Structure 1
Amino acid sequence: MDFNFENELAGKTALVTGGTKGAGKAIATRLLQAGATVITTARNKPEKQQDRLYFIAADLSKPEGTQQVVNQVLHEFGQLDILVNNLGGSETPGGGFAALSDHDWETTIQTNLLAPVRLDRGFLPGMVERGSGVIIHIASIQARLPLYDATLPYAAAKAGLVNYSKSLSNEVAPKGVRVLTVSPGWIKTENGQAFLEIISKARNISIEEARQSVMDGLGGIPFGRPAEPEEVAELVGFLVSPRAGYLTGTEYVIDGGTIRTI
């Protein structure tokens, strides 16, 4: 097969949730560079929006937010070919299980598990009807390597997302739709830097010591550093492309070697 890597997504429409910063922004940029029409979503419009990227303001942690995005994308663009469920995160307090309320669990699961489920449900019928489409679920190595002190609900939600993604793939692969999971380890982002600052202040240690403490908490990163957002984006760019046309139902871990088991 011959592929034009520079324009391999021409004619495709892609949605990247949480696509205004961090890995989401890098993924959106990567798909745009490959020729796709790219839509991003977040709660608030970024101060500086990249040219040629369409934006929809929506709170995807709520059912009405996901429905708004589905309706607007289908109304304005007609169809969706690529869905990257990148939105995710944890805002729960540290302190283990006893510090977590029902609200902490519910809001984390809404954002990290139910938002992708609802968006898939909104866009999959069109993909199945056309016999083509790609869905990427951005999970986390915490699905296998949970950090119980601070992100227990997040880890549980991402574990659920990995399981759901595999199950969904089994259902829709015979209908021409590919479903894949990408599980990053620690990514160098603005939110990650803010997390280090919180640790630094809480423990009265330097940022470098905070960074090392996170790496130690993960059991170390053999590659010696967190991933750059663009490195995660490059993997996603390949997986949604025609070059990956036979790949589905698989989880791809990109963690610099953090998980030590096979």
Structure 2
Amino acid sequence: MKLPIRYTRVMSPLVVIVTGASRGIGRKIALDLGKQGHQLVLAARTLNPSGATGSLTETVRDVEAAGGSAIAIAADLSIPADADRLVDSAVEKFGGLDAVVNNAAATGSGGRTLAEMSWEDWQRQFDTNLHGTFAVMRAAAGHLVDRGGGTIVNISSRAGDLSDDLEAGRLFSPAYAASKAAVNRLTNVVAGELRDKRVAVVALDPGSVRTERVAALKNLSPEHRARLVEMEVPSAAVVHLVTSGRALDWTGKLLRAKDFVERLELKED
């Protein structure tokens, strides 16, 4: 589904951390925030190109070409010290922090069943998807409070949903599904803690998205391809949450990007 998008614009630049920004949804979010002139701190595990689908340095280049300001930070968010360094870099460079988009994720190296999944792969996905999200939130929260409020968006997945369709659950690895379910509950709990300090914490399920990696897959069924949404859909939802000043309306909730964008009629000016 392709939607025209209207982004709410704020008067002054916001300082926003976007993790997993070298490609896919994270890159699209960074570019759309850059078009509004925001100040971005972009993170991924490596800076320079390592494949055919983009790099952090390329994202920074394109954000700046679009009118934004950006710095690139090589960070492995499964390492708590890297999360602290990422937040410290944002505050040092731009003087504060207004929002965080926790998009970095590990999706697994192939283990789809309990028997196939190694302990190392299970641990790696939790270290990035859950522990990395927690570490960035913990490092960022005080700075957001110091600004008088802010927004944390945790990119989730329908993989984390409980479902009566047990066959559909086999589309996801146990570690990815369990870690995303934990992210949803973490979001919900921390939202209650930070609401009175005017910090919103929202989980966003982007849906099945036509990222560069997904578009290149050869084994997707026609039905699955028909369900794909363009990257502008989750990006529109994130940009609205970060820039509208209304994120507290949805704090503690799990939003579905396509439904959210359609419900708010986010159309391009």
Q: Is the 8 A contact 2:17 2:42 kept in 1?
A: yes
Partner letter of residue 226 of structure 1?
L
Report the counterpart of residue 10 of structure 2 in structure 1: 8
Aligned CA distance change for structure 1 residues 54 and 95 (closer, same or farther; 3 Å): closer
Match of 1:161 in 2: 183
User: Which one of 233, 236, 250 corresponds to residue 253 of structure 2?
Assistant: 250
Contact 2:157 2:206 in 1 (8 A): yes
- Paired letter, 2:84: Q
Q: Larger deviation: 21-30 or 234-243? A: 234-243
Residues 141 and 149 of structure 1: is their aligned pair in 2 closer, same or farther, counting only changes over 3 Å?
closer
1:245 shift after superposition? 4.5
Distance 1:114 1:250 in 2: 20
CA distance in 2 between partners of 1:15 and 1:110 (Å)? 19
1:211 pairs, out of 200, 214, 220, with 220
The RMSD of aligned alpha carbons is 2.4
Q: Which moved further from structure 2: 165-174 or 62-71?
A: 62-71
Is the CA contact 1:14–1:38 (under 8 Å) kept in the aligned structure 2? yes
8 A Cα contact 1:139 1:161, kept in partner:
yes
Distance 1:9 1:232 in 2: 23
Name the stretch that deviates more: 244-253 or 83-92: 244-253
Which blocks of at least 5 consecutive residues in structure 1 are unaligned? 197-206, 216-220, 257-262
Can you list the C-alpha shifts for 1:185-206, whole angstroms capped at 9, x where unaligned?
2111122235x2xxxxxxxxxx
> Counterparts in 2 of 1:98-247, with a 5 A limit?
98-144=115-161, 147-148=169-170, 150-194=172-216, 196=217, 207=218, 210-212=219-221, 215=224, 224-247=226-249
Task: Output the amino acid matched with 1:84.
Answer: V
Once the two structures are TM-superposed, the CA of residue 59 in structure 1 deviates from its matched residue by 1.2
SS in 2 for 1:137: strand
User: Per-residue CA shift, 1:146-183, capped at 9, x if unaligned?
Assistant: 74365210110000000000110011001111111101
Structure 2 segments unaligned to the other structure (5+ residues)? 1-5, 48-54, 260-269
Superposed CA deviations along residues 101-121 of structure 1, whole A, max 9, x for unmatched, are 211111000110111100111
Overall identity of the aligned pairs, in %: 28
What amino acid sits opposite 2:189 in the alignment? Answer: S
Taking a change above 3 Å as real, the CA distance of residues 95 and 213 of structure 1, as seen in their structure-2 partners, is farther
SS of the residue 1:181 aligns to: strand
**What letter corresponds to residue 39 of structure 1 in structure 2?**
V
Structure 2: distance between partners of 1:142 and 1:94:
15
Deviation at 1:10, TM superposition (A): 2.3
Q: TM-score, normalised by structure 1?
A: 0.81
- CA–CA distance in structure 1, aligned partners of residues 203 and 103 of structure 2: 10
User: Is contact 2:15-2:90 (8 Å) kept?
Assistant: no
- Indicate if the aligned counterparts of 1:81 and 1:127 stay in contact, CA closer than 8 A: yes
Q: What one-letter code is carried by the residue in structure 1 that aligns with 2:174?
A: L
Query: Aligned residue pairs: how many?
Result: 234
Judge which range, 175-184 or 137-146, deviates more: 137-146
User: TM-score scaled by structure 2?
Assistant: 0.79
User: Which residue in 2 is equivalent to 1:204?
Assistant: none
Provide closer, same or farther for how the CA distance between residues 6 and 174 of structure 1 changes in structure 2, counting only shifts above 3 A.
closer
Structure 1 residues 147 and 191: alpha-carbon distance in aligned structure 2, compared to 1, 3 A threshold: farther
Q: Following the alignment from structure 1 to structure 2, what is the Cα–Cα distance between the partners of residues 116 and 91? A: 17
Whose relative contact order is higher, 1 or 2, with alpha carbons under 8 Å and at least 6 apart?
2
